Structure 1
Amino acid sequence: MASFLQNSSSVSAGRAAIDDLLSPYFLHHSDNPAISLVSQPLTGDNYASWSRATIIAMTVKNKLGFLDGSIAKPADTDLNLSSWIRNNNVVIAWILNSVSKDISASILFADSAYEIWNDLREQFQQSNGPRIFQLRRELINLRQDQQSVAVYFTKLKSLWVELSNFRPSCTCGQCTFGGVKNLAAFSHHEYVLTFLLGLNESFTQIRGQLLLLNPLPPINKVFWLVSQEECQRTLSSQSDANTSLSNNLAFAVKGRSSGHDFGFPTRGAQRERPFCTKCQINGHTIDTCHKIHGYPLVISPNLSQSLSTWQLILQQSTPLSIMWSTMTVQQHLKMAFFPIIEPSTIQTTNEDVCYALIKFCSHWFLHNDR
């Protein structure tokens, strides 16, 4: 009877551990083995950032003890053994989902999450030298260039924080001589100097003012001050652009009111007609005067003689059978020659002759326009 009561109490304790929300053995319905807890899978060279993200995720899930070994495997007679195996397998599945396929093949047959965690740490954390070298080289070559201050600072901070994880630090909490504090102050001093060093030369003035401060402000304060300077310059440049646009518009309005538009005559200004000093008439200049340079074919100053020549050409031309439905060459000829030439003659006139007639009309009216 006593043994039965003891077994019942043990079962009740094990059930209480599974149902307790604060127990590491508790599994929420969303804690399925198919999810991935980190955004970037482990590829080998990103172990520092991956391990940090994995630790944060496991802490939120209350399963960090399965990684660091603080929750050891219970004895075979322990009622929590089945719960431990189930939680251990869920953590293993989460790790497999957060590493690359090549790496997952090497850890697939491990028995515990603690064993996998140690294996990955020994495999990838030992090769810190190349990664540290790469981070330091990126920090040295990092410059603002065309980036904004916010984008430049974000890149610098990500590199600096990752590099800081490789630096040794004291975690005992028993140092009383101020060595840890001085080391942290020196690291912060380098952080600020690295940020100021990568800024563009346009920030020389505010950089000099910050370097005169002793001690240097916190890095976030320095970033805020530089960002305010950048915002002030942006507002000033916009104000200068608006002022320049206003001046240009005022100049344009002034030019229009004076009768000119940036050196060109306005729309209402009349164009001066050409004048021939030989004929003393408008419409052409002395450089194109036919009285000096000669008349073209079938064009003469005598209208009756020219019209007689055109009547002969019209009689010898090949008729056309095309009917003109729009304002075409024949209609222009009817309007120009209707008082002189019979419209039926123009209706059947060859098209080439029609164009020649138009040319004749334009030349004749040009020389007789007074």
Structure 2
Amino acid sequence: MADAAMPKLDDALDTGSHTKGENLPVHVTSIRLNKDNYLSWSAALEIGITSRGRLHYITGEKPAPSKTDSQWPTWALEDSQVKVWIISSVSADIQPLILRKSTAYDMWTVLARMYGRKKRVLRAYQIKRSIYALKQGDLSVASFYAALKTKWEELDYHVNDDWKCGVDHALYWEKEWMDRTFIFLGGLRDEFETIRNQILNCDEIPGIEEVYARIESEEQRRQIMHIDSHQGSSPAAFVSHTSGTGQRPTRRCNHCNKVGHSVDFCWDLHPEKRLVRGRPPPHRHASSVPEPSPGSSNVAKSKLSSDQLRELQAYISRLSTQDDASTSEGAKLAQALVATSDQGLGDGAEDWDWFGY
């Protein structure tokens, strides 16, 4: 029988059939099976085999036909291709355990029994222990949540999920995801204590996806505030940053070369503007007093206040006690000023800085 079947297999390989012409690769996944990564390996290999249309060879849905059947050569070729993919994706110490298996389905089943569910209880304990010990630490919120999700998915694979009642099953998973929400919140850093308390104080705890979204939004807000603080958005930094910019330029008079006013408001050129801004006039020499207009009195009239008048009278008394001729002339001049000031007393004091006051 075997000898009769061999020519048919050779014919399938030599006639350029559709199966031969596909030029399928030897590797369908980059993950190699070891004693600890069966979950990720089996998922990746199953995807690769499915993409080549060969999934039924590892699920047992396409058993081997009789060797006298006309489909035998095609089935044997395709099954051998799946066996090559399985052998090339396991480590060297595991390959001897499956090389002698007659079909791809036998290889897949042996590996599942050895590394899949054989130590289910022990592996579930190890995964749960690592989940409870996992903390955020220096991880971002997204990385911390992804690490938890990976462990939860592996744990679900090892848990015997054979429920008879659909309602009880739904209640179980509702409670399970509530516990996982607490684990996620409890593993966060202390900087999220405020938003964590806000979530836990709600009448109804939201789902894990909503909780994750709120925590990640808070993290992004903190990062933005941290960047702004380093760029100088604080009030003190803002003042420092804006100092020297946007300030009023210092004004300097082109006539007297003093700062604080322009030539249009220089008191030397415009004495009538001295009291416009409410400032006392500066001391100037008598040369800065404007010339009297035509028709005015030859003696400048200076209206004095009562206090200024008393001070001037005291000054005259001191001059009168001296014998010097120059002081006598000064006394006469001061008396003449007092006489002229008496005429306008009560009209308000004006500028008389040319006396030295």
TM-score by length of 1: 0.56
For residues 59 and 252 of structure 1, what CA distance do their matches in structure 2 show? Answer: 70
CA distance in 2, matches of 1:193, 1:133: 19
8 A contact 2:124–2:159 mirrored in 1: no
- In the alignment, which residue of structure 1 is the partner of 2:211? 222
Whole-Å separation in 1 of the counterparts to 2:196 and 2:21: 54
Tell me which residue corresponds to 1:187.
176
- Alignment pair present for 1:158 and 2:150: yes
In the alignment, what sits opposite 1:240? 229
For residues 136 and 204 of structure 2, the distance between their equivalents in structure 1, rounded to whole angstroms, comes to 25
Three-state SS of the structure 2 residue aligned to 1:109 is: coil
Deviation of 1:50 (Å): 1.6
Report the Cα offset of residue 250 of structure 1.
4.9
User: How many aligned residue pairs are there?
Assistant: 231
Deviations 1:193-252 (CA, angstroms, capped at 9, x unpaired): 111111011111111222234543222221111111111111122222222443444569
Code of the residue aligned with 1:97 in structure 2: it is S
Identity of aligned residues (%): 27
Matches for 1:101-250 after TM superposition, within 5 Å: 101-125=92-116, 126-170=118-162, 175=165, 178-241=167-230, 242-244=232-234, 245-250=237-242
Gap regions ≥5 residues in structure 2: 1-7, 250-357
Alpha-carbon shift at residue 112 of structure 1 (Å)? 0.5
Structure 1 stretches of 5 or more lacking a match?
Answer: 1-10, 20-24, 258-370
C-alpha displacement at 1:70, in angstroms? 1.2
**Structure whose alpha-carbon radius of gyration is higher:** 2
> Structure 2: how far apart are the matches of 1:127 and 1:105?
21
Residue 49 (1) aligns with residue 40 (2): yes
Are the aligned partners of 1:37 and 1:94 in contact in 2 as well (CA < 8 Å)? yes
Return the letter of the residue paired with 1:199: L
Does structure 2 retain, via aligned residues, the 8 Å contact 1:43–1:103? yes
Structure 1 position 28, deviation (Å): 8.2
Q: 1:306-325 deviations in whole A, cap 9, x for unaligned?
A: xxxxxxxxxxxxxxxxxxxx
- What is the one-letter code of the residue matched to 1:75? S
Residue type of the alignment partner of 1:232: R
Confirm or deny: 8 A CA contact 1:33 1:93 kept in the other structure: no
Cα distance in 2 for partners of 1:214, 1:164 equals 29
Please tell me whether the aligned partners of residues 149 and 226 of structure 1 are also in contact (alpha carbons under 8 angstroms).
Answer: yes
Question: What CA distance in whole angstroms lies between the structure 1 residues aligned with 2:121 and 2:29?
Answer: 25
Q: Distance in 2 between matches of 1:38 and 1:211?
A: 43
In structure 2, distance between residues paired with 1:28 and 1:200: 58
8 Å Cα contact 1:170/1:180 also seen in 2: no
Q: In angstroms, what is the RMSD of aligned CA positions?
A: 2.9
Pair 48,235 (structure 1): closer, same or farther in 2 beyond 3 Å: same
Cα distance in 1, alignment partners of residues 52 and 180 from structure 2: 34
Residue type matched to 1:139 in 2?
I
Shift in Å at residue 95 of structure 1?
0.4
- Contact 2:29 2:89 survives alignment (8 Å): yes
Partners of 1:31 and 1:129 lie apart in 2 by 42
CA contact (8 A) 1:67 1:114 kept: yes
The 1-side partners of 2:128 and 2:119 are apart by 15
Give distance in 2, aligned partners of 1:97 and 1:85. Answer: 18
What amino acid sits opposite 2:156 in the alignment? S
TM-score by length of 2: 0.58
Cα distance between partner residues in 1 of 2:136 and 2:218: 15
Cα separation, 1, equivalents of 2:162 and 2:200: 29
| Over 6 Å off, 4+ runs | none
User: Partner of 2:31 in structure 1?
Assistant: 40
**CA 63–191 in structure 1, closer or farther in 2 if over 3 Å, else same:** same
Cα distance change of structure 1 residues 191 and 80 upon mapping to structure 2, 3 Å threshold: same
Paired with 1:130 and 1:170, the residues of 2 have a C-alpha distance of 19
SS across alignment from 2:158: coil
Q: Distance in 2 between matches of 1:196 and 1:204?
A: 9
